[in-house]
Chain A
Amino acid sequence: MKKIVTTALVSAALLLIALASPAQQRIDEKRPASPAGLVAVSNLAGSVVVKGWDKAEVAVTGTLGKGSERLEFEVSGDRTTIKVVLPKHAHDVDGSDLEIRVPAGSRLDVDTVSADITASELTGSLTIQTVSGEVSAAGPAKDVNAQSVSGGIKVDAGGAQISAKTVSGTVTVKSASPQNVEMESVSGDLRFEGGLAQGGAFRASTVSGSVDAALPSGLAADFSLGTFSGDLRSAFGDNSTARPEDHSGKRLSFTTGSGGSRVKIKTFSGNVTLTKR
């Protein structure tokens, strides 16, 4: 008898613990949405995967992390908001994994802390901000603006404007012929492979990260390359002109072809390497 009562009490206690700690919840929701509206996503931890499609609809599937309060999924005019809401005094909350399909022409705005972000098959603009999540943006997005503190950023996009900034993450950008590329870091390495539209501009600036850029061999551009204490190697121009001038550091300024496009690279102690592709 005593054993039965004890077992019952233990079972009841376990049941209470389970009820008090909400388990993961599956998500599967849809809302109609504007074909070129704004989709704003906020998820602190876990992952966010966004893909464009040809429906005037936003669909969210995935898993709400254990301990999360709810998923806020609202449409107001041409703005869709998707947000993982946590309890005010949350402890031991698991990350949520969201898979989101949005109209391909949407403007996407994603904000996370540690959740990784993947965006693809979108033609609108992408704005991505994270602290330590890894960012991956691919596809024909019109423009990409990605920022992180320590997370790495990978962009493989065909749009006109690309801006990728981080403090210590690694930034890798591939793009066939963007109009403007801006890459910035403090200690993270910056890597670029691609071309530039006629009259386009490529700017890379880092304190101690390295800059590696592979540019078309026939690129007609005005180059301004400089480093205070790093090494400077360029397959373009004449490296023998990397003279200290009147000041410390190395600098190369030259024009290839008829010029027009602009390539500006600046580092403090990071190495600069330009290669032809």
Chain B
Amino acid sequence: MMDCTRAADLLDEYVDGTLPESEARDVRDHLLACPACARSEAGLRALLRRAAQLPAEMEPSRDLWPGIQGRIAAEPARTARPVPSVAPYGWIAAAAILLVVLTSAVTLWVVRRQAPAKPPQAVASPELAALRMSEPDYLQARKALYAALQQRRGSLSPQTVKILDQNLAAMDQALRAMKAALDKDPGNRGLAVLIESTYRQEIQVLMQAASLPANA
């Protein structure tokens, strides 16, 4: 009997109808027996129905990197602006991760459907188009979590703040290097995928930091 991890791996292709019949049957059997995976399938199908209304041609969004660099380069010691009333951190974190995971899964699936099988070299790869589409959502989640972390900095131990700052800076540097490489080679699918996974890791670290207790 197929397990949930394997079913999750194959879910995109199953919904797309591109799985070989024997695997599709295994996924179908698993979905009948697993309410959690069945909910994932229903959620994905619902999102795809909405995503089907997206335009067939997707222009890359504006380059957001200058804005990101400016924000990240801000001195940690700078006094934080008052943050507007926001939901509790747990809600932000849950919303951030859900937004990021679902958006990237959907946009990547949609782009793969709509992009030609072998895109011409001058055209961005499906993975890059998906990254461009999901990037605003990542940045929005990232902004909320950085604001949450900024509020918390004074209550964390200097050692923890130093480790977080070093590692977040390392991720930012890595993202900039990969983005620069991708700008020169927009068809490089591996790079687009690496950038998206680094974004996800950054969100995860920010979520972890935002939920640290006082004196951590």
Contacts and interface: CB of A to CB of B under 8 A. Distances in A.
Interface of A: 44, 86, 88, 90, 93, 113-114, 129, 131-132, 147, 149-150, 160-161, 165, 167-168, 179-180, 184, 186-187, 199, 201, 205, 207-208, 226, 228-229, 246-249, 251, 266-269
A135 to B, nearest CB: 14
14 contacts: A131-B160, A131-B216, A184-B197, A186-B198, A187-B170, A205-B194, A205-B197, A207-B177, A207-B194, A228-B181, A246-B121, A248-B188, A267-B194, A268-B178
Given A161-B5, A167-B201, A179-B3, A247 B188 contact: yes
Contact of B174 (A93, A161, A248, A268): A268
Contact of B177 (A132, A168, A248, A268): A268
10 interchain residue pairs of minimum CB distance: A207-B174, A167-B167, A113-B216, A247-B188, A226-B190, A90-B215, A248-B185, A149-B167, A180-B5, A247-B185
A268 B9 contact: no
Contacts of A160: 3
Interface of B: 3, 5-6, 9, 121, 157, 159-160, 163-164, 166-167, 170-171, 174, 177-178, 181, 184-185, 187-188, 190-191, 193-194, 197-198, 201, 204-205, 208-209, 212-216
Contacts of A168: 166-167, 170
Given A150-B163, A184-B201, A131 B208 contact: yes
Contacts of A113: 157, 160, 212, 216
B163 A266 contact: no
Contacts of B194: 205, 207, 228, 266-268
A208 B177 CA distance: 11
A3 B2 CA distance: 83
Nearest to B157: A113
A249 B190 contact: yes
Contacts of B157: 113
Nearest to A229: B181
B61 to A, nearest CB: 22
Nearest to B121: A246
Contacts of A161: 5
A247 B213 CA distance: 46
Contacts of A248: 181, 184-185, 188
A205 B195 CA distance: 11
B216 A44 contact: yes
A247 B183 CA distance: 12
Contacts of B184: 248
